[in-house]
Amino acid sequence: MTTNGIKENGVKKTNNPYMPRYEDLLSRVSNFSIIESTLREGEQFANAFFDTAKKIEIAKALDDFGVEYIELTSPAASDQSRQDCSAICNLGLKAKILTHIRCHMDDARIAVETGVDGVDVVIGTSSYLREFSHGKDMDYITKQATEVINFVKSKGIEVRFSSEDSFRSDLVDLLSIYRTVDKLGVNRVGIADTVGCANPRQVYELVRTLRGVVSCDIECHFHNDTGCAIANAYAALEAGATHIDTSVLGIGERNGITSLGGLCARMYTANKDYIKTKYKLHMLRDLENLVADAVSVQVPFNNYITGYCAFTHKAGIHAKAILNNPSTYEILKPEDFGMTRYVSIGHRLTGWNAVKNRVEQLGLTLTDDQVKKITAKIKELADIRPQSMEDVDNLLRDYHYAVTSGDLSQVESVLSTN
């Protein structure tokens, strides 16, 4: 690794603190592609059933959003899956269309006839899957992969080879098969955290090691069983991965994979302009609603970007600062995603600055001292039950009316404890 003042490849580096570090040169956080797998991994979600029309609607929406690749269910899964794959290939979308198959010639023969731009080939390399899934050893896998890859390449379309359950596979086996398929000329190799066991540090190390072994692109696929799917995707990009698999709302087998929206949120913090230029972020909400509806789930309340409270500020200390400068408590700008900010004031954690802002929004005029008094009243009421915005607005209007009337008994009546 390059570090200042340390010899690398026999060359002494100068001790310049501004010199780019090796890690920075590896990083692809500002230069990566999304392989959107709602129509493949997402179809493995427990609730998912997409008919042809729904698949086409989702594929078009993903294409509009700007993802670079759309991955579809294996055409070997069923006759309708094969027909749907061809139908989506015929849509003439900007995104490249991929399908995902087992490392098997039977599947490969069907896949190349669908009109896809590329085929994602996968086979398990961990001892679990070698023993209990397909039952093949590494020699057999290598032979089979060679045949399938050469066949797909002979059709002039992209091919990716991926090792399922990469993080529970033997590192020597992994690097050896990746090196072999790289030499065969695959477009990408894939690393898959199939069971969601990996953490960002392990991901960084494996991807960085692989980056030194293959010259092709590196795709990564992360399951979210232990909550690391987005962080792992970020770590992979930092280590030189070029492609990340996502699905809308993260739907997939078990509790799913890196979500498209979550990845956008994370990458926005790394390079806002890059993400804003590449993807139509304001379409995210409609895209998520489309998929949520198709699989009969609600968008989670705490979803990245589009969760109902993702841009709601509540505590008085936050509200004051947000009203002065939204960057104080917002790393994502809601307007960049077609969302709006909301300051909630009808509760006992509110503060006079937030209430004053609401007073001004309503076009009322109160002194700071008066705002503080009515804030105390809001808190008193909210100690009993939360107040809706309408409740608060009515109270503010009543109080304003009372103070402008000059009738002290009316003022006291508004402020008094009932």
Ligand X SMILES: O=C(O)CCC(=O)C(=O)O
Ligand Y SMILES: CC(=O)SCCNC(=O)CCNC(=O)[C@H](O)C(C)(C)COP(=O)(O)OP(=O)(O)OC[C@H]1O[C@@H](n2cnc3c(N)ncnc32)[C@H](O)[C@@H]1OP(=O)(O)O
Q: Which stretch binds Zn ion (CB under 5 A): 39-47, 80-88, 343-351, 375-383?
A: 39-47
Q: Residue 353 is encoded by which pair of tokens? A: 């600055």
115 in Cβ contact with 89 (< 8 Å):
yes
Rounded least distance, CB 11 to ligand Y, Å: 44
Biggest alpha carbon distance in the chain? Answer: 92
- What CA–CA distance (Å, rounded) separates 220 from 260? 14
Rounded least distance, CB 137 to ligand X, Å: 19
Q: Which is nearer to ligand Y, 111 or 323 (CB)?
A: 111
Give the closest residue to 366 by CA, choosing from 414, 318, 313, 319: 414
Neighbouring-strand partners of residue 72: 99
Which residues are known catalytic residues? 318
168 contact choice in Zn ion, ligand Y, ligand X, none (CB below 5 to 8 Å, kind-dependent)? none
Rounded least distance, CB 364 to Zn ion, Å: 55
Rounded least distance, CB 320 to Zn ion, Å: 44
313 contact choice in ligand Y, Zn ion, ligand X, none (CB below 5 to 8 Å, kind-dependent)? none
Calculate the CA 135 to chain-centre distance: 34
- What CA–CA distance (Å, rounded) separates 418 from 416? 6
148 in Cβ contact with 162 (< 8 Å):
no
- What CA–CA distance (Å, rounded) separates 376 from 112? 70
Q: Which is nearer to ligand X, 166 or 353 (CB)?
A: 166
217 in Cβ contact with 188 (< 8 Å):
yes
Query: Tokens 């309503």 appear where?
Result: 362
336 in Cβ contact with 281 (< 8 Å):
yes
Q: Which stretch binds Zn ion (CB under 5 A): 3-11, 36-44, 269-277, 329-337?
A: 36-44
Rounded least distance, CB 166 to ligand X, Å: 8
190 contact choice in ligand X, ligand Y, Zn ion, none (CB below 5 to 8 Å, kind-dependent)? ligand X
Q: Which residues bind ligand X (CB under 6 A)?
A: 41, 100, 120, 122, 162, 164, 190, 192, 194, 221, 223
188 contact choice in ligand X, ligand Y, Zn ion, none (CB below 5 to 8 Å, kind-dependent)? none
Rounded least distance, CB 204 to ligand X, Å: 18
Q: Which residues bind ligand Y (CB under 6 A)?
A: 44, 74, 76-77, 102-104, 122-124, 133-134, 164, 194, 253
Q: Which is nearer to ligand X, 190 or 261 (CB)?
A: 190
120 contact choice in ligand X, Zn ion, ligand Y, none (CB below 5 to 8 Å, kind-dependent)? ligand X
379 in Cβ contact with 386 (< 8 Å):
no
- What CA–CA distance (Å, rounded) separates 164 from 126? 7
Work out the burial of residue 372: count CB atoms within 10 Å of its CB; fewer than 13 is exposed, 13-18 middle, 19 or more buried. Answer: middle
Q: Which is nearer to Zn ion, 104 or 373 (CB)?
A: 104
User: x-or-dash pattern for Zn ion, window 299-318, by CB under 5 A?
Assistant: --------------------
Give the closest residue to 85 by CA, choosing from 47, 56, 64: 56
Q: Which is nearer to Zn ion, 41 or 107 (CB)?
A: 41
Q: Residue 356 is encoded by which pair of tokens? A: 């004053």
Which residues lie near Zn ion (CB under 5 A)?
A: 41
